[in-house]
Amino acid sequence: MLMLRHTGLGLLLVGLALLVSADRSAACPFCNMDGKTLTGEVHDASMVLYGSLGKGNEAAETTPLNIEMVIKKPENPKLLGDGKVITLNRYLPTDEKTKNYRYLVFCEEFKGRIDPYYGVAVPEGSPLAKYLQGALKVASAKQPERLRFFFDYLDSADVEASNDALKEFGKADYADYKDMAKTLPADKIAGWLKDKNTPAFRYGLYASLLGHCGKEEHAAVLREMLEDKEKQLGAGVDGIMAGYTMLKPKDGFALIRRLMADPKNHFMLRYNGLKAVRFIHDFRPDLATDKEQTEAVTMLLEQKDLADMAIEDLRKWHRWETADKVLGLRNKDVYEVPIIRRAILRYAIECKDNKECAAHVETMRKKDPDMVRDAEELLQLQRESTPVGK
């Protein structure tokens, strides 16, 4: 049946899920839109048509589609007949409202016949058909070229096209847009960030793009956003922090550290600071030294709501020089939190050359052998799940 959508109107397994985060290099680090893109839908369909609805036959449960554009041609051109009309296998009543809409219809070939299975209704005059045609033209191009095309639709008045363009960035690697972003219109992006109608979930991507192409005046836009108490607790703050640090590395990283270090700050603000430091570690180590990154994360060790994450990062980054501080948590209030005790144990297991870490593991093996066994199994699963070279 054709589906139409209208627009505009286990302990180890749980532990492993916490330990093995998604590969940060496999997707845009600041995009909050995912899911299948329209380009992907077109790729999977045998053909995609665009047109208006004719008067349907309620008894036969059919509706004609007057074809105005063939977005994707079928391998067998005879399926389209004269290319003017096809019959949808569902009755769709028409009225004055539907006359103002056009329909993108995705079809399969089934036993030599057209089988429409999915449709998107868009307002008349929508750029969506043109958007898809353009997306198909750059489908085989290199990612930077593709993303430059999608950038021009990020602010499209058509919500479907705008959100789909954002999904395309969400599926891309940071390396795919890092250099391309240097050529983007900074004033335009800054305008998006200052626009009160821009959804907060877009801030992270926009700010990171601005970090590549912006100038001194654009850094001020990002700094103002970071000092806005309301925006501090919204989406995309890690991207704003990263973008500001790209434009003003010394000031930006100092600001991240200050916001992370104050335990009175909201959890999300401090957590976004940690995510920004992770981004710098993974993708932009030119913005802060290893020592600066380590010191920033170490500041979180006595914060009960973030200490376990900080310990995990120090372990994954092999920052064994922090062993004294990590083990020192055993004498702090944070050691009362089970998840923090387990994080310390995992750190100690992997910090093999430190005698105090080894002693802690052996002490815990006698005191709670099950806990040590579970930690060792989790670490083994993580090693097996980590891509080669990571």
Q: List pLDDT tens digits, range 221-248.
A: 999 999 999 888 888 999 999 999 999 9
- The pLDDT value given to residue 383: 83
Residue 141 shares a structural domain with residue 211 = no
Residue 28 domain-assigned (yes or no): no
> What is the C-alpha end-to-end distance of the chain, expressed in Å?
45
Q: Which has more pLDDT, 36 or 329?
A: 329
- Domain containing 284 equals 166-385
* Residue 101 falls inside a structural domain: yes
Residues 183 and 273 in one domain: yes
Kindly report the number of other CB atoms within 10 A of residue 112's CB atom.
Answer: 8
CA distance 268 to 95: 48
Last residue of a domain, one of 165, 186, 211: 165
Residue 24 maps to a domain: no
C-alpha dist (Å) from residue 57 to 63, 92, 105, 113, 126: 6, 8, 18, 19, 27
- For the chain, how many residues are written? 390
Which residue in the block uniquely carries the two structure tokens 């703050």?
A: 237
In a domain, 106, yes or no: yes
Residue 36 has pLDDT above 90, yes or no: no
Q: Which percentage of the chain shows pLDDT scores above 90?
A: 60
Do residue 312 and residue 372 come from a single domain? yes
d(CA 307, CA 263): 11
Whether residues 133 and 190 share a domain: the answer is no
Residue 149 pLDDT exceeds 80 = yes
**Which CATH number goes with the domain that contains 202?**
1.25.10
| 4 and 113 together in one domain | yes
User: Does residue 16 form part of some domain?
Assistant: no
- Domain with residue 138: its CATH number is 2.40.50
Residue 241 contacts residue 268 (beta carbons within 8 Å): no
| 353 and 375 belong to one structural domain | yes
Over the stretch 186-224, which tens digit does the pLDDT of each residue have? Answer: 999 999 999 999 999 999 999 999 999 999 999 999 999
Q: Tell me, yes or no, whether 79 lies in a domain.
A: yes
CB 91 within 8 A of CB 14: no
Same-domain pairing of 344 and 318: yes
State how many domains the chain has: 2
Burial degree of 326 (CB within 10 A; 0-12, 13-18, 19+): buried
Residue 25 resides in a domain:
no
Query: Which among 165, 190, 222 is the end of a domain?
Result: 165
Are both 160 and 198 inside the same structural domain?
no
pLDDT tens by residue, 375-385 = 999 999 888 87
pLDDT of residue 11: 42
Query: What would the two tokens of residue 151 be?
Result: 């950038």
Write out the two tokens for 31. Answer: 């995009």
Q: Are residues 100 and 185 in the same domain?
A: no
pLDDT at position 14, please?
Answer: 41
> Does residue 352 surpass a pLDDT of 90?
no
pLDDT in tens, 166-184: 999 998 999 999 999 999 9
Is 91 a member of any domain? yes
Residue that is last in its domain, among 140, 165, 190? 165
The DSSP bridge partners found for residue 47 are: 107
User: Do 87 and 197 belong to one domain?
Assistant: no
Do 209 and 228 share a domain, yes or no? yes
Does residue 18 register a pLDDT over 50? Answer: no
pTM of the shown model: 0.85
Nearest to 213 by CA among 183, 168, 244, 248: 183
For residue 7, pLDDT over 70 is answered with no
Under 8 Å between Cβ of 288 and 246: no
Please tell me whether residues 354 and 205 are part of one structural domain: yes
Cα distances (Å, whole numbers) of residue 10 to 21, 226, 364, 379? 17, 39, 23, 16
